[in-house]
Structure 1
Amino acid sequence: MFAFTDEHQALREVVRALFSDTDDPATGWRRLLGEIGADEIILGSTESDDTGSPIDLAILAEEAGAALFGGPLIPTVLAGQFAAALGDADLISALRDGTQTVAATLGDDSPVWHGPGAHLLLVRRGGWVALFDATDPDVVLTPVDGLDPSRPLARHTVGAATPIARSEGESTGAEHIVSLALSAELLGVAQHALDGTVQYVAQRVQFGRTIGSFQAVKHRLVDLLAKVELTRSAVYGAAWQLTSDPGAISTEVDLAVAAALSRDTALAVTKAAIQLHGGIAITYEHWAHRYFRRAHAVTALTGTAGRYRRRLADLVDLRDGAHV
């Protein structure tokens, strides 16, 4: 049975404190990898098998989502999985102290995540994965505007650049761990939006009463809380499965459930946060608006809840022996 340990709680507290104490993503990223040692959680250990578990990564990603952290977490996770699949830890050694960063595409039609200023570029396309030197003159990263300004995006061309390393075929392990990290990030977005909204309605007064005392508001917040808690169970259930039995089809089922629920929940909670704050939350500067953007951006770039429900249906048929 899964339960959070004292070490898990300590990790959460340290990471949360770091994110709350750092406004600059580049500085926060270097501190995260250098001071806390999160490089072993994200990239794996170079000295032993004692690396961070998927549960550790889920905690880190959840807190990153809650803080709207702008560091290159997802591309770095992908780079770590790529190096592990090739058995060549030296490929990513320059990333471990946070002074160099990697950008990555998440699929054939994906923009580059965290492209501007990256030193390495990981491209996933048409069944192959390749790592390029992003400072090569033939590698061009062109920044593009995205819905979420806290996560910079770019378009890329590699021209005649020779990859540093290349592999044929996608890594199932990479897909699974990134799916978990994104679901955990959206859980963090939803939890923070819910917490901020509960705090606001307990203070906002209308008709001589706090709006949180109105029955309609109470009922809506309870429904949102139920969504968040169900998503939390799904995300950490998937993390536990990925830790204990990564190759099982039941693990893929749990990951699909977590992906679908996290997208539904993040969109529902951030939408409600804006509505329950009133007109002020529609403004670009308000925190609720920025969390709304993060939830929608991740969903638009990585797939809707409907996509993962279709994936779940296929997996259940496969698990139960049906032809799909």
Structure 2
Amino acid sequence: MDFSISVEHRMVRDSARDYLAAHSDSAAVRRATEAGPAHDDTLWRAVAGELGWCGIALPEAVGGAGLGAPGLALLQEQLGQHLACVPFWSTACVAAPWLQTALGSRGSAQWLERLAAGECRAAAVWPADGGWQYGAVAITARAHADGFVLHGSAAQVHDAAGADWLLVPATLDGGEPALFVLEPVALADEARFALASLDTLDRTRPMASLRLDGLPVRADACLARGDAAAQGLAQAWWHGKLMLAAEQLGAAQQCLDLTVAYASERIQFGRAIASFQAVKHRCAQMMVLVEAARSAVYGAAQAWEAAAMVDRAAMAAMAAMADARIEIAAASVAADEALRFGAQEAIQLHGGIGFTWEYDPQLYFKRAQAASHWLGGAGAALAYLARFVDSGSQAWRTA
């Protein structure tokens, strides 16, 4: 299948692969996580600021490269393969499309320009069920004086530590959706605002819990409300789901690469274990799942980009986006399976040392277990796909 990967896309992929191989190898990842969940600030300054990766998918009008979802997916694949300890997914893959959709092209320009320049890190709060609908939003906003008062909490917020912007979906009086932006640094001494770092299984992506105990905010902290806010959340969730699948694909590829390299060097009974038929079969199964996931992810990225090109006011836009969501759900399931199976097999085929701290399979196993629960995991994707099996081709009208 032709996924129309241009020369520019290939250049982005190859340069990212080479740069991360040199600056986000196993030793660098371990240094970044030695003291607990943390970001590699040096790597972030390089990829976000100097290399401009956060603007890869953004329009040229805001300082981006205009390579869209396919270009971003290729970057995410490389970042996942090297477990890069940077808040790229939260910033470029979630916050950017959220702001772009909720605020529109004009309203979001000033925000996207800063993201494209690598000046800001962003984190996002998801509904309590990890989905994309406001019915599960656990934070409320009550109008008060010249602003709002926020109440609620979130058990897990990706990349919240060190974030310059925190995107918070909330429900206004009467149930109207709204999107707020908070600046954690400015609220550091505010007793009614609390971000607490969590010690999680996968230390390569920090998590924090959020608590808002009647936090007063100005009126301009509310960036969007109504349909715009609801559409922004949905768009960010699906785009984030796609890019998470690309990240899982990269991690699965690394599990395969690590296993093949080890099996080629490990000698048993006078032969490299890679020559044993049973080992060959298990590596082959890993490869089959990785390649299937790659086809699904690349196809979903192309479908998303095609949907973005359709006039949103046209009925065709709804059908195109519904098709893209189906592709993303399928890619999410395929990538999740490839990574979970690949991480498991990497540990098994490394033998008695596979689970030890000194070898890398354990890092990817932890990522596989953690990522399988983010944004609803494969379960949410399968449930979405099941709706189309049950409802037929018109299910998109109520999706």
Same-fold status (TM-score > 0.5): yes
Q: Is the 8 A contact 2:64 2:116 kept in 1?
A: no
* Counterpart in the other structure of 2:45: 30
1:101-156 alpha-carbon deviations (Å, 9 max, x no partner)? 22222332551111222222112356543211112333321101111011111011
2:160 partner SS: coil
2:394 partner SS: coil
Structure with max Cα Rg: 2
1:156 partner SS: strand
**Residues 47 and 73 of structure 1: is their aligned pair in 2 closer, same or farther, counting only changes over 3 Å?**
closer
Query: Does residue 313 of structure 1 match 2:386?
Result: yes
- Residue type at the aligned position of 1:310: A
* Counterpart in the other structure of 2:151: none
C-alpha displacement at 1:97, in angstroms?
Answer: 3.7
The percent of aligned pairs where both chains have the same amino acid is 33
Counterpart-to-counterpart distance in 2, 1:300 and 1:262: 13
2:354 partner SS: helix
C-alpha displacement at 1:51, in angstroms?
Answer: 1.7
Query: Does residue 241 of structure 1 match 2:303?
Result: yes
Counterpart-to-counterpart distance in 1, 2:72 and 2:392: 27
Q: How does 1:137-216 map to 2 (within 5 A)?
A: 137=187, 138=190, 139-159=193-213, 160-162=215-217, 164-167=221-224, 168-171=229-232, 172-216=234-278
1:107 partner SS: coil
Counterpart-to-counterpart distance in 1, 2:60 and 2:237: 20
Query: Does residue 280 of structure 1 match 2:353?
Result: yes
C-alpha displacement at 1:215, in angstroms?
Answer: 0.7
Q: Is the 8 A contact 1:43 1:79 kept in 2?
A: no
1:45-76 alpha-carbon deviations (Å, 9 max, x no partner)? 44478622100010011001001011111221
* Counterpart in the other structure of 1:84: 100
What is the TM-score when the length of structure 1 is the normalising length?
0.92
Q: How many residues align?
A: 324
C-alpha displacement at 1:92, in angstroms?
Answer: 4.8
Q: Is the 8 A contact 1:42 1:52 kept in 2?
A: yes
Q: Is the 8 A contact 2:249 2:339 kept in 1?
A: yes
Q: Is the 8 A contact 2:52 2:118 kept in 1?
A: no
Q: Is the 8 A contact 1:12 1:63 kept in 2?
A: yes
Q: 1:104 aligns with which of 124, 128, 137?
A: 124
* Counterpart in the other structure of 1:133: 183
Counterpart-to-counterpart distance in 2, 1:117 and 1:49: 23
1:314 partner SS: helix
2:186 partner SS: coil
C-alpha displacement at 1:13, in angstroms?
Answer: 1.3
Query: Does residue 61 of structure 1 match 2:62?
Result: no
Query: Does residue 290 of structure 1 match 2:335?
Result: no
* Counterpart in the other structure of 2:56: 41
1:147 partner SS: coil
- Residue type at the aligned position of 1:169: A
Counterpart-to-counterpart distance in 2, 1:59 and 1:65: 10
Please list every run of 5 or more consecutive structure 2 residues that lacks an aligned counterpart in the other structure: 33-39, 130-154, 172-176, 309-316
Counterpart-to-counterpart distance in 2, 1:152 and 1:49: 27
Counterpart-to-counterpart distance in 2, 1:252 and 1:319: 15
C-alpha displacement at 1:175, in angstroms?
Answer: 2.0
1:312 partner SS: helix
Q: Is the 8 A contact 2:58 2:65 kept in 1?
A: no
**More displaced 10-residue stretch of structure 1: 27-36 or 225-234:** 27-36
1:261-320 alpha-carbon deviations (Å, 9 max, x no partner)? 111111000000000001212113421100111111111233332331221121344452
Counterpart-to-counterpart distance in 2, 1:136 and 1:204: 54
1:159-193 alpha-carbon deviations (Å, 9 max, x no partner)? 41416333332423222211110000000000011
C-alpha displacement at 1:251, in angstroms?
Answer: 1.2
Q: Could you list the runs of 4 or more consecutive aligned residues of structure 1 that deviate by over 6 angstroms after TM superposition?
A: none
Please list every run of 5 or more consecutive structure 1 residues that lacks an aligned counterpart in the other structure: none
Q: Is the 8 A contact 2:169 2:180 kept in 1?
A: yes
RMSD of aligned alpha carbons: 2.3
C-alpha displacement at 1:96, in angstroms?
Answer: 3.8
